[in-house]
């Protein structure tokens, strides 16, 4: 299966997926990586891994793609034959037309145990709230922000001496384990969405 990855930042989750593919654990082809940030490290990682990587200008808005840009993103992914879109730190909201182009075929990873601490810097929100446990969630995308059906979650204990940085680092260790696994379940046809629930078939 061909997958496409979208990201705005350092791309450590892309790297985890690349590593899973190269070690043979994840039988997919990463056909295209797109970023809305021209000098994002995720593009460099992709190119180093021999993967086609493109910057596509997101347009005039800060938190979403403008309609013309959205068209370009969808076209590029469709032309590359992408069947699953994997969001890996993509910092823009994906709107209806995009979702309709890839129905139940867009995944995201979020650094908290959803549905708590949606939105930005979820690890900081967890620390400030004082929870003992947080973690990460892989979910399908729907029209809300971090609200789609949950595929997998991993728990990370919060330490009393944690800073936002140390907590985020430990959450990322779990992300790098979880995301390739979730992508693998999808591409093996093992995920079935039933309403809000995602069933994992054996
Ligand atoms: C991750 O923490 C992920 O949960 C969030 O954005 C961050 C991306 O990190 N959606 P990276 O660019 O994959 O290192």
77-103: pLDDT as tens digits: 999 999 999 999 999 999 999 999 999
Residue 14 has a pLDDT of: 98
In angstroms, the CA 42 to CA 8 distance is: 7
Tell me, in angstroms, the distance from the centre of ligand 1 to residue 191's CA. 23
> So what's the pLDDT on residue 45?
98
Rounded Cα gap, residues 139 and 56, in angstroms = 25
Positions marked catalytic: 110
Cα radius of gyration rounded to whole Å, the chain: 16
pLDDT of 166 reads 98
CA distance 81 to 84: 9
The DSSP result for the chain, as a single string, is -EEEEEESS--HHHHHHHHHHHTTSS--EEEEEEESSTT-HHHHHHHHTT--EEE----S-SSB--HHHHHHHHHHHHHTT-SEEEESS--SB--HHHHHHSTT-EEEEESSSTTSS-SS-HHHHHHHHT-SEEEEEEEE--SSSS-SPEEEEEEEEPPTT--HHHHHHHHHHHHHHHHHHHHHHHHTT-EEEETTEEEE--
Tens-level pLDDT at each residue, the chain (202 residues)? 999 999 999 999 999 999 999 999 999 999 999 999 999 999 999 999 999 999 999 999 999 999 999 999 999 999 999 999 999 999 999 999 999 999 999 999 999 999 999 999 999 999 999 999 999 999 999 999 999 999 999 999 999 999 999 999 999 999 999 999 999 999 999 999 999 999 999 9
Region(s) of the chain under CATH 3.40.50.170: 1-103, 109-202
% of residues, the chain, pLDDT over 90:
100
Ligand 1 site, residue 59, Cβ cutoff 6 A: no
CB 7 less than 6 A from any atom of ligand 1 = yes
The CA 89 to ligand 1 mean position distance, Å, reads 4
The domain defined by 1-103 carries CATH number 2.60.40.2470: no
Cα 189 to averaged position of ligand 1 atoms, centre (Å): 25
| Protein residue whose Cα sits closest to atom 1 of ligand 1 | 89
Cβ atoms 135, 154 nearer than 8 A? yes
Per-residue confidence (pLDDT) for residue 186, from 0 to 100: 98
What CATH number does the domain located at 109-202 have?
3.40.50.170
pTM higher than 0.95: yes
Query: Is residue 110 in contact with ligand 1, taking CB distance under 6 Å?
Result: yes
- The label of the residue with tokens 């979650």 reads 153
Beta bridge partner(s), residue 194:
197
CA nearest ligand 1 atom 7, residue: 89
pLDDT digits (tens, 9 = 90+) for 40-71: 999 999 999 999 999 999 999 999 999 999 99
Using the mean position of ligand 1's atoms as its centre, give its distance from the Cα of residue 37 in Å.
Answer: 14
Looking from the CA of residue 111, the nearest atom of ligand 1 is 4
What is the reported pLDDT for 89?
97
Contacts of 45 (CB under 8 A, 6+ apart): 11, 14, 15, 18
Tell me, what's the pLDDT at 82?
98
The reply to whether ligand 1 has any atom less than 6 angstroms from the CB of 109 is yes
């Amino acid at each position: 299966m061909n997958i496409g990855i979208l990201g705005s930042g350092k791309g450590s989750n892309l790297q985890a997926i690349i590593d899973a593919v190269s070690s043979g654990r994840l039988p997919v082809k990463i056909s295209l990586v797109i970023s809305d940030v021209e000098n994002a490290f995720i593009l460099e990682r992709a190119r180093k891994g021999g993967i086609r990587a493109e910057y596509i200008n997101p347009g005039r808005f800060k938190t979403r793609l403008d309609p013309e840009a959205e068209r370009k993103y969808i076209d590029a992914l469709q032309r590359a034959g992408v069947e699953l879109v994997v969001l890996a730190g993509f910092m823009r909201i994906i709107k209806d037309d995009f979702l309709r182009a890839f129905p139940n075929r867009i995944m995201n990873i979020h650094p908290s145990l959803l549905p708590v601490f949606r939105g930005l810097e979820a690890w900081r929100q967890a620390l400030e709230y004082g929870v003992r446990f947080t973690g990460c969630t892989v979910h399908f995308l729907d029209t809300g922000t971090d609200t789609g059906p949950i595929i997998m979650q991993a728990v990370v204990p919060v330490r009393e001496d944690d800073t936002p940085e140390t907590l985020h680092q430990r959450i990322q260790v779990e992300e790098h384990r979880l995301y390739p696994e979730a992508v693998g379940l999808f591409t093996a046809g093992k995920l079935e969405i039933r309403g809000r629930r995602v069933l994992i078939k054996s």
